[in-house]
Amino acid sequence: MIELTDIRKAFNQGRENEFHALGGIDLQLPAQRVTALRGPSGSGKTTLLSIIGCLSRPTSGRVRLKGQDISGLPERFLTDIRRQTFGFVFQQFNLIKGLSALENVMLPAYPLGGDWRELHEKAQRLLGDLRLSHRREARVEWLSGGEQQRVAIARALINDPEIIIADEPTANLDTALSMEFMAILEKLSASGKTVILTSHDPLVVDSSIVHQVVDMRDGRVVRQDTTRNTMESPA
Amino acid sequence: MNAWIAKQQYLIDFTLSSLARRKAKNLGLLIVYTLIVFLLASVMLFTHALRHEAAHVLDGAPEVVLQRMVAGRHDLIPPGYLERLGRIRGVQNKEGRLWGYYYDPVVKANYTFMVPNREPVPAGTLVVGAALAKARGLAVGNVISFRSYSGKLFGFSVARILSPDTELVSADLVLLNEGDFRNFFEIAPGYFTDIALSVANPQEVRNVATKLAQQFPDSRPILRDEILRTYESIFNWREGIVLALASLAILAFAIFAWEKASGLSAEEKREIGILKAIGWETGDVIKMKFWEGALVSLAAFVFGYVLAYLHVFHTSAMLFTPVLKGWAVLYPHFDLPPVIDGFQVATLFFFTVFPYAAATLVPIWRAAITDPDSVMR
Ligand SMILES: Nc1ncnc2c1ncn2[C@@H]1O[C@H](COP(=O)(O)OP(=O)(O)OP(=O)(O)O)[C@@H](O)[C@H]1O
Ligand SMILES: [Mg+2]
């Protein structure tokens, strides 16, 4: 589904504080699988995830999405791809304060200009699936961390993306909530979504829900463990 | 097409809800902004209407007025002048006028006493201006007495009160009979205050003036066009004072707007990043943010202008009266007929709405074109 070839990323290029966050990454991310990027802090996980999710461009290297080279596309097309293909669950959740849970969920669909009633129903259904119906009119800043994350998940799903991207999804959650997140993840995976996440949380990376773990260090892939891919794709 | 319309609707909805979310900031901005527009628009509307009105008043005035000068001062026209005027080409009509000023210590104001050339006032009666009638509490039939400059007391009964429509001209006006006027000011028959000449062809006004100056070296012809120009310059000067004050206000506003606009708050920057990350196009984000600023400034413009209109034309510009008028005590209440100049509206719009919109756009554009990966941190 996603193929990365010799991806490099340099920050502050040409300046004194030039920094190479990624030093040539080759990676295959299969469709309908859960892949976890693991590695110490500063190893480049978030940077790589941003490139995969079209939030930023690599300094060099190729990104292929379903066979199409997208690394050279102009900003407009990247935005389209981002909206249609990816759903994001950010570590800080990144909900928009002052808006209700429901409005936050609907937000990514606004630029598509679909029918409001349909969109509204869909958002409510998603919140219902995540057991948040009773909180849908609440402003997001009044929600607990676990609730906020579920709103963020619902928002990631509103445009029916094929790929879910989650950066440290359990970093702000306690064990019980992390388990709950894993259960949601399992459902998403079972429904055919491709999931790419980063984590150092053993609860995530050691879980049987994760099909593939990619170990990173200093901007390089040091180990790609596909052997544990025992569980066949749950149909 | 439907999707496009729906998308615009979503954008507008979101813009409005964003405005509502930052109520305090936007309300503060709206108030300050409205105030500035109000002040500027008031000055513009007021001076424009005043100038318009003055020109309108002078429309009915004679083209040339001849005044006699003695030792550089305005003096009475002696008998015989009017007759000597006989045959100057281009002069259609000529008449001696009688008018003068009278200081009324009761209300501490100057009145203009005048003998009308048409519709003479019956002896012993007066026709008075509305403002004067109000100041002295006069009604038709009342008797009022004035002490003349020589100390004698004269009693008159009020025959009529002038309609308040013409107040700018007639507020302090007292019309009276020629005989009464001559007695009151002790002006012998045959003498006049000045001579009014009407000249039909505007091209001939200058010629007539030259001839008058030759024929009556002791007199001075005053042209209506010159009065008009003097009025203009007085208005311009007064307007200049107020505009100088207003420009200070604009400066303060510019600083305020720049501060508000150029520094997007961290929260706003973050929101822009989030919207982009979840699939909003840069153009959509800029449009939405632009409309936020534009709506505030448009609303302020409309509010400010409407308030200024009410201020100038319904409260008689009460805030400016001391600066802008100030040439008579008896004008507490004159209502200018509303005049709006499209060019002025456009100018005001351009200098208030436009800079703000532009100032807000730059930082938004800068925030919107950066990669949205910052939301990952
Ligand atoms: N915009 C930036 N400018 C400069 N350096 C950056 C920028 N973003 C990331 N870096 C650097 O790139 C390196 C990789 O960062 P990244 O956030 O990808 O690490 P990470 O593996 O996600 O770490 P963590 O586990 O702490 O989230 C870090 O050393 C970071 O300081
Ligand atoms: Mg990270």
* Upper half-sphere CA count for residue B216 (Cβ side, 13 Å): 24
Mean per-residue pLDDT, B353-364: 78
User: Does residue B16 register a pLDDT over 50?
Assistant: yes
Give the C-alpha separation, B184 to B205, whole Å. Answer: 34
Question: Looking at the predicted structure, is the pLDDT value of residue B135 above 90?
Answer: no
Residue nearest to atom 7 of ligand 1 (CA): A11
User: Whole-angstrom Cα distance, residue A37 to residue A224?
Assistant: 9
Tell me: do B41 and B99 sit in the same domain: no
B295-318 burial, b for 16+ CB within 10 Å, e for fewer?
A: bbbbebbebbbebbbebbbeebbe
Per-residue pLDDT at B148: 87
Domain end marker among B222, B255, B285: B222
Ligand 1 mutation target, pool A41, A46, A222, most atoms within 8 A of CB = A46
Same domain for B344 and B214: no
Domain co-membership, B237 together with B352: yes
Q: What is the pLDDT of residue A53?
A: 92
Q: Please indicate, yes or no, if residue A235 is contained in any of the structural domains.
A: no
Residue nearest to atom 2 of ligand 1 (CA): A11
Residue B90: partners with Cβ closer than 8 Å, 6 or more residues away: B199, B200, B201, B204, B207, B208
Both tokens assigned to B317? 């510009």
Q: For residue range B152-181, what is the model confidence (pLDDT) as tens digits?
A: 899 999 998 887 665 556 677 888 999 999
Kindly report the pTM of this predicted structure. Answer: 0.72
Domain end point (choices B177, B206, B222): B222
Are B218 and B296 part of one and the same domain? no
CB contact under 8 A, A113 and B4: yes
Q: Is the pLDDT of residue B1 over 70?
A: no
- For the cut 80, the answer to whether the pLDDT of residue B57 exceeds it is no
Q: Which of B163, B188, B222 is the last residue of a domain?
A: B222
Q: Determine the atom of ligand 1 nearest the C-alpha atom of A47.
A: 18
**A40 lies in a domain?**
yes
Give residue B125's domain range: 64-222
3-state secondary structure of A215: strand
Number of folded domains that form chain A: 1
B201 and B294 housed in the same domain = no
pLDDT confidence band for B73 (50 / 70 / 90): confident
Query: By the 8 A CB rule, do A2 and A63 touch?
Result: yes
- Residue A79 inside a domain? The answer is yes
For residues B92 and B217, state if they share a domain: yes
Give the model's confidence band at B270: pLDDT under 50 very low, under 70 low, under 90 confident, else very high: confident
**Average pLDDT for consecutive 10-residue bins of chain A (235 residues)?**
92 89 92 93 93 92 91 86 92 90 94 90 93 92 91 94 93 89 93 94 91 93 69 44
The answer on B211 and B76 residing in a single domain is yes
What is the reported pLDDT for A234?
A: 43
* B72 & B218 share domain: yes
Structural domain containing residue A97? 2-225
Same domain, B215 and B251: no
Residue B103: pLDDT band by 50, 70, 90 thresholds?
confident
The total of structural domains in chain B comes to 2
Is residue A46 in some structural domain?
yes
Token pair, residue B116, equals 């009308």
CATH of the domain at B211: 2.40.40.20
- Asked whether residue A233 is domain-assigned, the answer is no
CATH number of the domain where residue A58 is located: 3.40.50.300
Tell whether B94 and B135 lie within a shared domain: yes
Strand order in the sheet with A60-65: A19-29, A2-11, A60-65, A68-69
- Tell me which residue in A92, A95, A110 faces B14 most closely, judged by beta carbons: A110
How many angstroms from the chain centroid is the CA of residue B161?
A: 26
Residue by residue, DSSP assigns B165-213 as GGHHHHTTEEEE-HHHHHHHHT--TT-BSEEEEEES-GGGHHHHHHHHH
Distance A172 CA to ligand 1 centre (A): 18
Instruction: Give the C-alpha separation, B345 to A10, whole Å.
Output: 53
What pLDDT, on a 0 to 100 scale, did the predictor assign at position B51?
73
Give the pLDDT mean for B19-29.
84
Query: B140 and B93, same structural domain?
Result: yes
Element (H, E) at A63: strand A60-65
Q: Is the pLDDT of residue B261 over 70?
A: no
Given CA atoms B194, B195, B198, B201 in this order, what sign does their dihedral have? Answer: negative
| Lookup: tokens for A176 | 């019980």
Q: Tell me, yes or no, whether A205 lies in a domain.
A: yes
| Whether residue B80 is found in the same domain as residue B191 | yes
- Given a contact cutoff of 8 angstroms between Cβ atoms, the answer to whether B35 and B169 are in contact is no
Which atom of ligand 1 has the smallest separation from the CA of A219? 14
pLDDT of residue B287 exceeding 90, the answer is: no
pLDDT tens track for B289-336:
888 888 888 898 999 999 998 888 887 777 766 665 544 444 444 556
Which residues in chain A are closer than 8 Å to B277, comparing Cβ atoms? Answer: 55, 82, 88, 90, 94
The C-alpha atoms of residue B365 and residue B293 are separated, in whole angstroms, by 13
